[in-house]
A and B are shown apart, each in its own frame.
Chain A
Amino acid sequence: MLITCPYCGPRGVIEFTYQGDGNRERPDPASQNFEAWNAYVYDRLNPAGDHNEIWQHSGGCRAHLRVVRNTLTHEISSVAFVRGDHGSAARRKAEDKA
């Protein structure tokens, strides 16, 4: 499996660490809504099909990536930085090269 890191380019899956379901929403830190906390910590969508998930490029730039990957075929349809501002860094890097 290859994941195309927006910063580093296509890299083998061995360089990445899986950080699981990207649909989970962490409640506000002060929230006392225990159902929301439980859902965040324990409950997973686990779809058979496209899955919105988070990977860290731990053997590369260490950025966290939001990846949409099909769990039936392992096909990856999109990869983006979880944190938007890496995007501009990547663009800058691309512009520098160009």
Chain B
Amino acid sequence: MSPRRTDTGGRIDRLKTIRFTFDGVAYTGHAGDTLASALLAKGVTLFGRSFKYHRPRGLLTAGVEEPNALVTVLKGEVREPNIPATMVEIHDGLVAISQNRFPSLAWDVNAVNQLGGKILSAGFYYKTFMGPVIGPLKGTRFWMFCEHFIRRAAGLGSAGSAKDPARYERMNAFCDVLVVGSGPAGLMAAKAAADHGARVILADLEPRFGGSTNWSDETIDGAPAADWARRTVTQLEGRDNVRLLPRTTVWGYYDNNTLAALERVSDHKEQPAKGEPRHRYWAIRAKSVVLATGAFERPLVFPGNDRPGVMLAHAAERYANEFGVLPGERIALFTNNDSAYRAAVALKKAGAAIVAIADVRSELSAEMRKLATEAEAEIFGGHAVVATEGGKALSGIKVQRFEMVTGALTGEERSIHADCLLMSGGWSPTIHLASQAGAKAEWNAARQAFLPPKPTQQWIGAGAFTGSFSTVEAIAEGRAAGLAAAGGTGTPTALPTVEAVAGDPDPAPVCEIRAKGKSFVDFQHDVTSEDVRLAHREGFVSVEHLKRYTTLGMATDQGKSSNVPGLAIMAEALGKPIPEVGTTRFRPPFAPVSIGSLAAERFGDLRPERLTPMHDWHLANGATMYSAGLWYRPMIYGHAGETVEQAYVREARATRESAGIVDVSTLGKIAVQGPDAAVFLDRVYTNMFSTLAFGKARYGLMLREDGLAFDDGTTWRLGEQDFLMTTTTANAGKVMQHLEYFLDVIWPELKVHVTSVTDEWAGAAIGGPKARQILAACVTGTAVDNATLPFMGIVRGEIAGVPVMICRLSFSGEMAFEVYSGAGHGTRVWEALVEAGKPFGLVTYGLEALGTMRIEKGHVTGAEIDGRTTARDLHLDWMLSKKKPFIGSAMMDREGLIASDRLELVGLIALDNRPLNGGAHIVEALDEANPHGSIGHITACCYSPALGKHIALALVEGGKARHGTRAHVSDPLRNRFGPVEIVSNHFYDPEGTRMHG
């Protein structure tokens, strides 16, 4: 390894030394270096291994499109795999390792795959590994056996399971003009738009603004182009209407000019500043977008084009001019276009020897010859590189005379000693965002490139993006685009003058040199030109079939450099022009995006938590909480040493013997108000509400439009036009939307307003033989005796000085009351009730006891109203009014909904006196070995303290007709089988004498 840092030049800070490690070896670099440039400066040529053949690979590019040099960056236990070394800015303490190699990058056993060569051709997986049709490896087993090893060989870096301690955040931004790319076109566009007064955001994925000015030798306004860029950026920085986003990749172009961008805020720092996120996800809503995203250089396809040391020409120019690193000492070039000559001169100036320029074109312009002379390079016009030599670093190339029209190679091969070969196969405009926005790219035969189409959304292109590869054009187009995007027609910003060597933007239409040896099209996935031709022979000729069959363009670089060469080779095989093979539609993201950034604030905090007003009280009083949707509710209030079952049995028993209290604040509560409120409720519920007296409540059932059961709950009439509807906890939001839909869309003539008041009320249900006495002991302002507060009656009073509304209704089957107070006073009322209950043996109970008592009563919940049951199935047909139409009434009697074999609600008693399981099935005849013949399933089960038995609710075919018969639970999943008796779902006090008191 020899140091290749130039003495001067580049945009690095030679005074600042940075220490990092790669594969455990300590290196130093300078501020401004990428991992790629810093390692290259130390003479490193081997950066990675390819996916399939594990071939040694070096740097192909200097940017985001890098397919070869992928590394994993380690931050403690947290891993970030598959990052191009070209995109990692070094910082002190950076730890990076190579990937997809064993035991080491230099010596990789899987490189043996290269011997498989022709067998491991495109699509070979589909043709083998199927295994025998009989014997122990029949079916899928042989494939799965092989797959086990294939999966271990495949894959690049490794993900970890340690939680990333970093923070991610999301920003919504709005602007008049978003400029993507900060090269000459983008900078000029931003300036023109900003000068016009538009709110501008300028984003570039690189840390430095300026794009090609950072490495070109051109001058603008008589000074190095980079100076102009820096001046322009400084001007923009000082303006209130401009936001500059460096290190920001605009990766998605979504509907209505919504663009998604990823800002790498602190990856380049040893420690982020306090509160600083790692990544920031920008959702930018731009009135107009200027796409100035430049172009990617393409490789040429020839044998050995993947050897470490073979690199894109402009990448070498970047390493030399932007980073002060020479990729080689003896550099050869191979090109089909003029742009590479600029690189030759730049590298010569930086101190390298340019040993040869092989150009497929035999006729070269005087300007190019002049540049070659300036680079002191021997020109091989009408020549092609046909081979490269060397192992993990290039040692030489072979060139041969090349006939461009026929592709024929003639004459002697000539060997040239070189440690670096630069190639240029022309340029592909970076049209990804335009393509994502919905437009189909158009092939330009002269440019040998897909150019952006007519916009389908509000964007304007500028510079190399449009196929205008010169800086002069870029600046002019940038200004025009910026002004137009800002809606401007006024005096445009003055144009700077550019001095640059004018080259021909059109390459020769040559992308492949057909000679002996593997020629790579997709470097990362090891797709060769022969693979493309094999796909052609097998009929995989459309671009999408080509991609899917060969995996061309599916690697982490998404074919940024390989798509066009692959298409060109297929087009040649087909004898058709490239557009007839098809154009790929680019999809988001433009470049890979961290998943953390997309989760942003929801990383580690997926959903909000809903807590009832009494939540803290429950926690302080021994409750074990249960997650119910977004809510947390007490499951049990366990005593020391109790099991869950012991706790709920104690709570339920105590409630039935004396009294119990439960937090019901989570029930959905909707205020239904207005002159037509009663009419509305008649239409919404299956039963009548217009007949409900003031100060009374009624249990109601709702159906969906299709006639199936939807939700149930009580609705309280507080006044002529004032109802308080309660819903199940789970359906609160759905019912609200259902009501709003009907009021707004179907019955706009009804004068009704609905308001969700779930969070305004705290609710406590107190039930049991002593519940009334407890209330009487703490309620003031009203009596609670049977006359004042009959079943389903409502009164208003006060508890502990807090106004409350009390309704006498019962879910537990005991005499019970629901006490509602303002949410802010919920705990005070709750505590007062608990205190008042002490002398009466009041217990607090949780969801388990609540469930137990409702099962004993045979009430239904979401487990039975599961979206597939009808009112009849649940024996709620008594609630279907025949006096009026209601939502679902027209549809509820269809043949499928009244069939005799439907699942109906029943009760079950375990005859073996063992616990039952939710989700167990019911069969007539038990067959433990081969369970079959399910006639239903258990929806809820418990040990019933009231009955002293294990009981369950179940949905069973034929339901009621089976009352009094025997069946079996069949639960092969938990190996629980046993006899049950099918009974009515009303286990306990079916006449309701207890609650009516």
When distances are taken between beta carbons in the complex, the residues of chain A under 8 Å from B374 are: none
Q: A1-B255, A62-B740 are in contact. Are A82 and B706 (CB under 8 A)?
A: no
20 A-B pairs within 8 Å (CB atoms) are namely A17-B737, A26-B746, A27-B890, A29-B885, A29-B886, A31-B890, A32-B890, A34-B890, A37-B890, A40-B705, A41-B891, A54-B745, A56-B737, A56-B741, A64-B741, A73-B456, A76-B256, A82-B748, A83-B744, A84-B748
In the assembled complex, the Cα of A37 lies from the Cα of B887 at a distance in Å of 11
The answer to whether B890 and A1 have CB atoms under 8 Å apart is no
A1–B255 Cα distance when bound, in Å, is 5
> B456 contacts which chain A residues (CB < 8 A)?
73
Bound: A31/B285 CA distance, A: 47
* A-B pairs with beta carbons under 8 A, tally: 58
Question: At the interface, yes or no: B254 with Cβ under 8 Å from chain A?
Answer: yes
Q: Which chain B positions have C-beta within 8 A of A27?
A: 890
Residues from chain A with Cβ under 8 Å of B889 in the complex: 29
Complex alpha-carbon distance, A82 and B745, angstroms: 6
**Chain A contacts for B283, CB-based, 8 A:** 12
Contact of B744 among A26, A29, A63, A74 (CB under 8 A): A63
Chain B stretch 718-752: residues in CB contact (< 8 A) with chain A: 737, 740-741, 744-746, 748
CB of A1 within 8 A of CB of B256, answer yes
B interface: dominant SS: mixed
Within 8 A of A (CB), among B881-895: 885-886, 889-891, 894
Convert A9-44 into 0s and 1s, putting 1 for each residue whose CB lies closer than 8 angstroms to a CB of B: 000110001010000001101111010011011000
8 A-B pairs with least C-beta separation: A2-B256, A29-B885, A1-B255, A64-B744, A83-B748, A74-B255, A37-B890, A30-B885
The answer to whether the Cβ of A46 comes within 8 Å of any Cβ in the partner chain is no
A41 near B706 with CB under 8 A, answer yes
Q: Which A residue's beta carbon lies closest to that of B683? A: A29
| B286 vs chain A, min Cβ distance (A) | 12
Q: How far is the CA of A82 from the CA of B890 in the complex (A)?
A: 24
CA distance A58 to B738 in the complex (A): 12
State the A residues within 8 Å of B (CB).
1-2, 12-13, 17, 19, 26-27, 29-32, 34, 37-38, 40-41, 54, 56, 58, 62-64, 73-74, 76, 82-85
- Give the distance in Å from the alpha carbon of A37 to the alpha carbon of B885 in the complex: 13
User: 0/1 per residue, B672-715, Cβ < 8 Å to A?
Assistant: 00000000000100000000000000000000011000000000
Q: Is B803 an interface residue (CB 8 A)?
A: no
Given contacts A26-B746, A40-B705, 16 further A-B contacts (CB under 8 A): A1-B254, A1-B256, A2-B256, A2-B258, A12-B283, A19-B741, A30-B885, A34-B890, A37-B890, A54-B745, A56-B741, A58-B737, A64-B741, A82-B744, A82-B745, A83-B745
Q: Which residues of B lie under 8 Å from residue A82 when comparing CB positions?
A: 744-745, 748
A54 to chain B, nearest CB (A): 6
By a CB distance below 8 angstroms, the chain A residues around B123 are none
Interface: B438 (CB within 8 A): yes
Find out whether the CB atom of A73 lies under 8 angstroms from the CB atom of B438. Answer: yes
Which of B683, B890, B891, B894: most chain A CB closer than 10 A? B890
Nearest CB in chain A: distance from B679 CB, A: 11
What is the minimal beta-carbon distance from B748 to any residue of chain A, in angstroms?
4
Judge whether B258 and A1 touch: CB under 8 Å: yes
Smallest CB separation, B881 vs chain A (Å): 13
- Residues of chain A within 8 A (CB-CB) of B258 are 1-2, 12
Query: Which partner residue on chain B sits nearest A65 by CB separation?
Result: B744
In the bound complex, what is the Cα–Cα distance between A37 and B894 (angstroms)? 11
Residues in A with CB closer than 8 Å to B741 are 19, 56, 64
Q: Which residues of A contact B885 (CB under 8 A)?
A: 29-30
Could you say which residues of chain B place their CB within 8 Å of the CB of A63? 744
Query: Residues of B contacting A30 with CB < 8 Å?
Result: 885
